[in-house]
Structure 1
Amino acid sequence: MMSSLPANLAPDDLSPDDLVPGNSVVRPGRRPGNPCFSSGPCAKRPGWSLDALSGALLGRSHRAAEGRARLNEVITRSHALLGMPADWKLGIVPASDTGAVEMVLWSLVGRRPVDVLSFESFSATWANDIVAQLQAPGARVLQAEYGRLPDLARIDWSHDVVLAWNGTTSGVRIPDGSFIPDEREGLVICDATSAAFAMDLPWEKLDVVTWSWQKVLGGEAAHGMLALSPRAVRRLEETPPPRPLPKIFRLTEKGRLIEGIFRGDTINTPSMLCVEDALDGLRWAESIGGLPALVARSRANLDVVSEWVARSGWAAFLAENPAERSSTSICLTIVAPWFRALDAAAQAKAARRLAAVLEDEGVALDIGSYRDAPPGLRLWGGATVEAGDLRALMPWLDWAEALVRSEFA
């Protein structure tokens, strides 16, 4: 594949390092302004600097009035920005999205049969926890390979249902909530960590939603967010957990919801530096137009990659169905004949080499596919990523592929 020369470069100006050996693909001249395309922790918002944290409440108790106020501000701003129903509860919990999901599984799963969708690494983890660790009676795992969703028609809505809205490690998302009935007996528990703030979530179809600060708004890790519908709160209050719970998992006391969790009284000590960073991301989101602007920015990023994939000749989306392609965790697989001719071990090595070349050039950091996923690339396209940076990266992908091809083919 021939890449056009950079505008400021004539053929006579080329050095041997500008051309891939045995190939006419030219080293691009333009670089992304921000090479951070990691899927977590993700790129900071445009214009971010450490000055954004200068007002952090350091050296103070998070239980002081001002500390509680800032924690509660994260809750209220998040609640409003996401358009969450007024009667939903939202709280800050330990251990990122993983902690939030585990709290819910340990507190809710086991009271009735449960269906869990498993189609990538993290949803497979929830399935394993439910079946092997919690040993929930009547558990069914509805499974699909990377790149596909399970058969949603198989879900039994008299059961509780556990699902990831967006497969962070597969690039497959649930397109909408039309498959979820308005009237259902069980609860719908949704891990939305790489969907919240970038995709429209159908709150009326869900009962529990979790996410972390480190994804779409580019916050720092360690803390999770847990949102509960009135139906979920009733379940927690009316039926005791079917197992003993460690302190950090307890959402009720003497049969009542611990309301303080949902006002900023965290179960364990939070980082007030991370809290300040979360507030900065929320304020930025509000300043650019709120949720519609965040969704539009993420979709624009997917559009950039989609246009490039259509003409690349060597890369394809891991997600086969266009309606199910994630706009945040954009997962690519390599379909070039030279790559397909390699055995599995060589394919994995070539894909790692491709990501390493781009990292060595300083144009894309941390974009190798997840360790359990098929070999390829994973580009974060959340709202903090600039479409212009992705656009600048695309010719580098072609250049790196040609270089790796010359080494492996």
Structure 2
Amino acid sequence: MSEISLSKPIVKPARPFFSSGPCAKRPGWSLAALEGALLGRSHRAPEGRARLKAVIERSKAILGLPADWRLGIVPASDTGAVEMSLWALCGERGVDVLSFESFSGEWARDLREVLALPDLRVHEARYGALPDLSVVDWSRDVVLTWNGTTSGVRMPGPEAIPATHEGLVICDATSAAFAMDLPWDRLDVVTWSWQKVLGGEAAHGMLALSPRAAVRLAQPSPRPLPKIFRLANGKGLIEGVFAGDTINTPSMLCVEDALDGLNWAASIGGLPALKARSAANLAAVERWAARAGWVDFLADSPEIRSSTSICLRIVAPWFLALSAEGMDRAVKHLTGLVAAEGAGFDLASYRDAPPGLRLWGGATVDTADIEALLPWLDWAHEVTRLEFAA
């Protein structure tokens, strides 16, 4: 191996933060953005409610949520929003669930083992692929993840869902919202959190309901629900939840940060600009992967390739010759080298995913930082190859 190939790059990312959650803060962010937070006051005070309602209204505006949809802030991040939906809605009719990465697999397990639905069909696919969408029965309720955060696989487009369907489509969109087009006219429940594309802080989820979903939710639940899951009572929907009257106490510091992220998004041009920034990050990785030779995308084909959770597999012969344990150690070594240089953090694939790399390419990440990271990955790969190759 030549000295040049083992030479460390010179330029480092200005913001070497590539975690897939919590994700990088917006460009230019500092703690000063939170100075106006409503601390030491009740979230139910007029000022607190106004801030919570502002998060809802600004989110709806940027995402282009239809006027007749409801949007609420709920506890426990995207996970809480999804679980609330499954517990409150699933069971009236049969359910099809698409399972193709860690979190969609969790939703399938919950429906099968916790809620123990008697009429459940799980359509599974390995990491890097989508289940066969042609076998999905859209007369049933369908649970799907729009973008697999741990597999880098996304739904191919709105045409994957029939324009008319009898059941509800419940969509986990946490790593897609604000970076990809969501077909609101083909979805019924959509969830996400603040900590992904807008770089907000954790623990708060967002739950969007179509009119069809709202009608279902207002009906008696198929099972008893804990208080933290209740979005309806004997009189129908608890409408206050969708106007800023949250079920539990939110962090007003996180609320201020969410508003900051939404204001930034609006200032750069809204959803089109957010999508463009994420697409540019993916394009930079695509150009590099095509010439690097030692990595490829985990996603089987470009049309299902995520622009946010960019998942890569290592295809170098020396790596493929390792045992599973050896692959894990090699990835830790490679990513550890980059982290030790301060050139990139949180680069390894998710713990349940195949050994490889995962780079967050959401809108808060500057493409220049992605481009500065990639030579460091090349360098770390060569150093790791010498360490691990037989």
TM-score norm. by structure 1 comes to: 0.94
1:395 aligns with 2:349: no
Runs (4+) of structure 1 exceeding 3 A deviation are none
| Residue 94 of structure 1: aligned partner | 75
Q: Aligned runs of 1:200-215 on 2, under 5 Å?
A: 200-215=181-196
| Residue 46 of structure 1: aligned partner | 27
Q: Does the CA-based 8 Å contact 2:39-2:252 persist in structure 1?
A: yes
* Deviation at residue 344 of structure 1 after TM alignment: 1.1
Letter in 1 for 2:373: L
Cα offsets for 1:251-282 (capped at 9, x unmatched)? 10114000000000000000000000000000
Cα offsets for 1:4-58 (capped at 9, x unmatched)? xxxxxxxxxxxxxxx4xxx733210100000000000000000000000000000
Cα offsets for 1:171-227 (capped at 9, x unmatched)? 000121102112211000000000000000000000000000000000000100000
| Residue 235 of structure 1: aligned partner | 216
| Residue 233 of structure 2: aligned partner | 253
| Residue 407 of structure 1: aligned partner | 387
| Residue 151 of structure 1: aligned partner | 132
Worse overlay, 172-181 or 242-251 = 172-181
Q: Does the CA-based 8 Å contact 1:39-1:380 persist in structure 2?
A: yes
SS state at 2:160 partner: coil
Q: Which of 131, 134, 158 is matched with 2:112 structurally?
A: 131
Letter in 2 for 1:154: V
* Deviation at residue 137 of structure 1 after TM alignment: 1.8
**CA distance, structure 1, for counterparts of residue 235 and residue 177 of structure 2:** 30
SS state at 1:178 partner: helix
1:73 aligns with 2:54: yes
- C-alpha root-mean-square deviation of aligned residues, in Å? 0.9
Q: Does the CA-based 8 Å contact 1:28-1:395 persist in structure 2?
A: yes
Q: Does the CA-based 8 Å contact 1:240-1:255 persist in structure 2?
A: no
* Deviation at residue 384 of structure 1 after TM alignment: 0.1
TM-score norm. by structure 2 comes to: 0.99
Letter in 2 for 1:205: R
Structure 2 spans left out of the alignment, 5+ residues: none
Q: Aligned runs of 1:223-302 on 2, under 5 Å?
A: 223-237=204-218, 239-302=219-282
| Residue 354 of structure 1: aligned partner | 334
**CA distance, structure 1, for counterparts of residue 372 and residue 162 of structure 2:** 43
Letter in 1 for 2:185: E
Aligned length: 389
1:308 aligns with 2:288: yes
Letter in 2 for 1:66: E
Cα offsets for 1:312-362 (capped at 9, x unmatched)? 010010001111000000001100011011111101110111111111111
* Deviation at residue 240 of structure 1 after TM alignment: 1.1
| Residue 330 of structure 1: aligned partner | 310
Q: Does the CA-based 8 Å contact 2:164-2:186 persist in structure 1?
A: no
* Deviation at residue 88 of structure 1 after TM alignment: 0.1
Letter in 1 for 2:149: T
**CA distance, structure 2, for counterparts of residue 48 and residue 379 of structure 1:** 20
Letter in 2 for 1:120: E
1:59 aligns with 2:40: yes
**CA distance, structure 1, for counterparts of residue 342 and residue 156 of structure 2:** 34
**CA distance, structure 2, for counterparts of residue 94 and residue 244 of structure 1:** 18
Letter in 2 for 1:307: R
Q: Does the CA-based 8 Å contact 2:72-2:244 persist in structure 1?
A: yes
**CA distance, structure 1, for counterparts of residue 115 and residue 244 of structure 2:** 29
Q: Which of 137, 150, 165 is matched with 2:146 structurally?
A: 165
**CA distance, structure 2, for counterparts of residue 107 and residue 24 of structure 1:** 56
**CA distance, structure 1, for counterparts of residue 282 and residue 273 of structure 2:** 14
Letter in 2 for 1:265: D
Q: Does the CA-based 8 Å contact 1:68-1:265 persist in structure 2?
A: yes
Q: Does the CA-based 8 Å contact 2:129-2:299 persist in structure 1?
A: yes
**CA distance, structure 2, for counterparts of residue 138 and residue 350 of structure 1:** 43
Structure 1 spans left out of the alignment, 5+ residues: 3-18
